[in-house]
Amino acid sequence: MALLETRGLSIRFGGHLAVSDVDLDVEAGLVTGLIGPNGAGKTTTFNLICGVLSPTGGRVSLDGRQIGSLGTHERARLGIGRTFQRLEVFSSMTVRENVLVGAEIRQGWARFGHSEPPLLAAGGDPSLDEEVDLLVDRLGLGPVADTRVGSLPTGQARLVEIARALAIRPRVLLLDEPASGLDDSETHHLGDLMVQLATAGLAILLVEHDVPLVMKVCSHVFVLDFGQVIASGTPAEVQQNETVQAAYLGSAS
Ligand SMILES: Nc1ncnc2c1ncn2[C@@H]1O[C@H](COP(=O)(O)OP(=O)(O)OP(=O)(O)O)[C@@H](O)[C@H]1O
Ligand SMILES: [Mg+2]
């Protein structure tokens, strides 16, 4: 059983079936890709997993527990972290303050018995400030730690959002186009970080149009088109799949 599973996940907006009978398995310790053309239903699938949207059919489970009736905050507390395709950062706050928000929320969960270890700290239990500094450094944001996020380029603001998501110590991290706005060097660094986080035990579900990045870091890839999974397999398998090439890769790579 995968850490995060969806089965038959579906949502209809009026007459439009945006996500249709989607089965995903997202394993701990791996980066799993979710790719497909614009409008395929990738962000909508994230919103269904997080509880931003309620499905018209199907279910979502985390570690064997059905979470479909839980609110977004409860799913976050159980370990589902995410970033947003359309950046959601606190623009008037500094980089460090943005990450601190995540860390303080996580600290507040202690009374619910939340006890996930930090993902990147090498042993021990860092203080709140130490953990924030560590995340800021690991995302390469040290030089801008005290800069207001609103004055950063989009690429760096995306990294802030990832650092804030990591501060809640998620078990599953949903990344919606994290490389959008990043330059080549930042994208390379992000790829290495995703692999490192997965090696530390995190389950990552990556939505990304940067196909070379997906092929480099993912162990398994699901391909969506018109709301349906049209293929899944290793990066090499989906790249060679003729249906996938016709629907997406022919134009994307
Ligand atoms: N709240 C909504 N109400 C109505 N239709 C919606 C809503 N959200 C998404 N859709 C539609 O559902 C479909 C899937 O959209 P979604 O944003 O999930 O695509 P996507 O795969 O993330 O695309 P992109 O690669 O462009 O981000 C689209 O046709 C979109 O217009
Ligand atoms: Mg999207």
What is the residue with the minimal CA distance to atom 19 of ligand 1?
A: 39
Is any ligand 1 atom within 6 A of the Cβ of residue 10?
A: no
- pLDDT value at residue 76: 95
pLDDT in tens, the chain (253 residues): 899 999 999 999 998 999 999 999 999 999 999 999 999 999 999 999 999 999 999 999 999 999 999 999 999 999 999 999 998 999 999 999 999 999 999 988 887 777 777 777 766 788 899 999 999 999 999 999 999 999 999 999 999 999 999 999 999 999 999 999 899 999 999 999 999 999 999 999 999 999 999 999 999 999 999 999 999 999 999 999 999 998 888 765 4
Amino acid (one-letter) located at 193: L
- pLDDT value at residue 42: 98
What is the residue with the minimal CA distance to atom 10 of ligand 1?
A: 18
Q: What's the CA-to-centroid distance between 120 and ligand 1, angstroms?
A: 33
3-class secondary structure, 86:
coil
Q: Nearest CA to 204 among 212, 194, 215?
A: 194
Annotate 180-190 with b (16+ C-beta within 10 A) or e (fewer).
bbbeeebbebb
Can you read off the two tokens belonging to residue 253? 């790579």
Q: What's the CA-to-centroid distance between 4 and ligand 2, angstroms?
A: 20
- pLDDT value at residue 251: 60
- pLDDT value at residue 190: 93
Predicted TM-score (pTM) of this structure: 0.94
Q: Nearest CA to 189 among 142, 138, 114, 240?
A: 138
- Are the beta carbons of 104 and 128 closer than 8 angstroms? yes
Name the closest ligand to CA 18.
1
Can you read off the two tokens belonging to residue 29? 């310790």
Cβ-count burial of 208 within 10 angstroms (0-12 exposed, 13-18 middle, 19+ buried)? Answer: buried
- pLDDT value at residue 126: 85
Question: Own/partner pairs for 212-216, CB < 8 Å, 24+ apart?
Answer: 212/253, 213/179, 213/187, 214/33, 214/35, 215/239, 216/191
Is any ligand 1 atom within 6 A of the Cβ of residue 44?
A: yes
Q: What's the CA-to-centroid distance between 124 and ligand 2, angstroms?
A: 38
What is the residue with the minimal CA distance to atom 2 of ligand 1?
A: 13
What is the residue with the minimal CA distance to atom 12 of ligand 1?
A: 18
Domain ranges of the chain: 1-79+171-253, 89-168
d(C-alpha 53, C-alpha 50), whole Å: 8
d(C-alpha 107, C-alpha 118), whole Å: 11
Angle in degrees, 0-180, between the axes of helices 95-108 and 154-167, rounded to the nearest 10:
20
Q: What's the CA-to-centroid distance between 42 and ligand 2, angstroms?
A: 5
* Domain 1-79+171-253 class in CATH: alpha beta
- pLDDT value at residue 34: 98
Is any ligand 1 atom within 6 A of the Cβ of residue 43?
A: yes
Is any ligand 1 atom within 6 A of the Cβ of residue 39?
A: yes
Q: What DSSP designation does 6 have?
A: E
Amino acid (one-letter) located at 159: L
- pLDDT value at residue 209: 95
Looking at the CA of residue 45, tell me the nearest atom of ligand 1: 18
Is any ligand 1 atom within 6 A of the Cβ of residue 170?
A: no
What is the maximum span of the chain, computed from C-alpha positions, in angstroms? 53
Is any ligand 1 atom within 6 A of the Cβ of residue 18?
A: yes
d(C-alpha 129, C-alpha 116), whole Å: 17
